[in-house]
Amino acid sequence: MDFQVSEEMRVRLDMISEFMTREVIPLEGELLHGTPETLAAGVAAAQAKVKQMGLWAPNHPVEFGGLGLSMVDHGLFAEAVGRSPLGMTVFGTQAPDAGNIEILHKYGTPEQKDQWLRPLVAGEIRSCFSMTEPETAGSNPTLLATTATADGDHYVLNGQKWFTSSADGAAFAITMAVTDPGAPPHRRASMIIVPTDTPGFDLVRNVSVMGHSGSGHASHGEVIYHGCRVPRSNLLGDEGGGFVIAQDRLGPGRIHHCMRWLGIAGRAFEMMCRRANERVIDGDGSRLADRQVIQHWAAELDAEIRGARLQVLHCADLIDTEGAKAARDEISAIKFVVANTMLKAVDTAIQVHGALGVTDDTVLAYWYRHERAARIYDGADEVHKTSLGRRVLRRYAMP
């Protein structure tokens, strides 16, 4: 892998880093203590400045308003903006919109792209992704129970979803539902575009996560589909192609998530080190940083973060050069390695901050609440470890 960053990308990263420090991180006070309306106004103002800087939606296709970054460059971008919970949104690359944009670009018809993709990239509307169900195992999507039954020129959807992230205020959902229950397991389901104002699409609630229900983009909705009728022209890709599309969405999406997590880990690490150097713990003026245990924590985290970062960039480079299929093992590995590295960094930073760490006077407790799910969504750690371990062991099996 060539570790050289182009001069153009280096300039962009410098601009992003300065903008994050000056414009985005100060908005965290509104995120933690303000009102949703005030926060939304601040984010909108920052988004306008990002567009003026020519840095809006950099990972998206050029023909739809993005910069068309490579996977490696987008990974570096995601790390830079991941330093704040607001970074991805301010730059127009937030999940689940980013993943929905990828699959609409690859599988959408020209009509679907005009109606949904263009305004989504432009930030004029938001979307949600509706796959997870409360009564079926997310680790095995062949068990999906939500159905989309063909009825003339329409599909009629029935079922229950939850953790349909960002459904609150979204213009449409990309919904995974069973279109042919008699087909082989991985050909039963399809992806269908469902406008959220369709009768029968009911957002029941924003699911409370560790005591916070959230609102708008920062929410996870429970959705009931009952007799929800949409045109068959809303089918995304081929009927029965839902699993293939989901994998296309999740592979690159894990690069985005993992590099964002590394942005979190990096900032949590910096906060930990500053706190250790500032916190006086004895009458002789000694500080936390003088304690060997803190020095060990700093050394271990520094090494783990750097190692995780190299793993992700290697994986991104492999996707760029050989495709996601060739990077299958690397994609599985980074998902559980980076999630745990990030959570260790946040947890250790909280420990060094003491009582301050569990308050909302810093962003650490927010990350502790909202990023714990990193070890669950897009495939639980155990699923990735089992899948990767099985493939690794097969390579050493006796002929």
pLDDT at 29: 95
Task: Give the pLDDT confidence of 73-95 residue by residue, as tens digits.
Answer: 989 999 999 999 999 999 999 99
pLDDT at 251: 65
The structural domains of the chain, ordered by start, are 7-121 (1.10.540.10), 127-236 (2.40.110.10), 244-394 (1.20.140.10)
pLDDT at 252: 67
Q: Nearest 5°: phi and psi at 149?
A: -95, 130
Angle between helices 71-81 and 292-322 (to 10 degrees): 150
* Sign of the alpha-carbon torsion through 36, 38, 129, 71: negative
pLDDT at 1: 67
User: Vertex 348, ends 347 and 349: CA angle to 5°?
Assistant: 90
Mean confidence (pLDDT) of the chain = 94
Q: Model pTM?
A: 0.93
* pLDDT tens by residue, the chain, 399 residues: 666 889 999 999 999 999 999 999 999 999 999 999 999 999 999 999 999 999 999 888 888 778 888 889 989 999 999 999 999 999 999 999 999 998 999 999 999 999 999 999 999 999 999 999 999 988 788 899 999 999 999 999 999 999 999 999 999 999 999 999 999 999 999 999 999 999 999 999 999 999 989 899 999 999 999 999 999 999 999 999 999 998 877 766 788 899 999 999 999 999 999 999 999 999 999 999 999 999 999 999 999 999 999 999 999 999 999 988 899 999 999 999 999 999 999 999 999 999 999 999 999 999 999 999 999 988 899 999 999 999 999 999 977
Task: Give the pLDDT confidence of 317-374 residue by residue, as tens digits.
Answer: 999 999 888 999 999 999 999 999 999 999 999 999 999 999 999 999 999 999 999 9
Quote the CA–CA distance of 268 and 348 in Å, as a whole number.
Answer: 8
